[in-house]
């Protein structure tokens, strides 16, 4: 099931970011789960999965980019 959210932050060194979904929940994502790393403030669609007992966003796709 595809969800949407807004990128809050992304750390280039660790390759980990955080986004806020439409239910105001924060969700982590990893750079290797996205073809293009979105900028802070970008709107993305994504899917959820469990990784090491934590929910993470995968298959991020840019909907609206922020420069």
DSSP state of 34: B
Retrieve residue 61's tokens.
Answer: 């796709």
Domain boundaries of the chain, sorted by first residue: 3-64
- The mean pLDDT of 3-28, rounded to a whole number, is 93
Confidence of residue 67 (pLDDT cuts 50, 70, 90): low
pTM for the complete prediction?
0.83
Q: Does domain 3-64 bear CATH number 2.40.50.140?
A: yes
Contacts of 40 (CB under 8 A, 6+ apart): 7, 8, 9, 10, 66
């Amino acid at each position: 099931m595809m969800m949407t959210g807004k990128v809050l932050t992304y750390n280039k060194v660790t390759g980990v970011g955080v986004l806020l979904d439409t239910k105001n929940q924060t969700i982590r994502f990893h750079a290797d789960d996205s073809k293009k790393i979105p900028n802070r403030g970008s709107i993305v669609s994504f899917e959820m999965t469990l990784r090491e007992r934590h929910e993470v966003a995968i298959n991020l796709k840019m909907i609206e980019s922020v420069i």
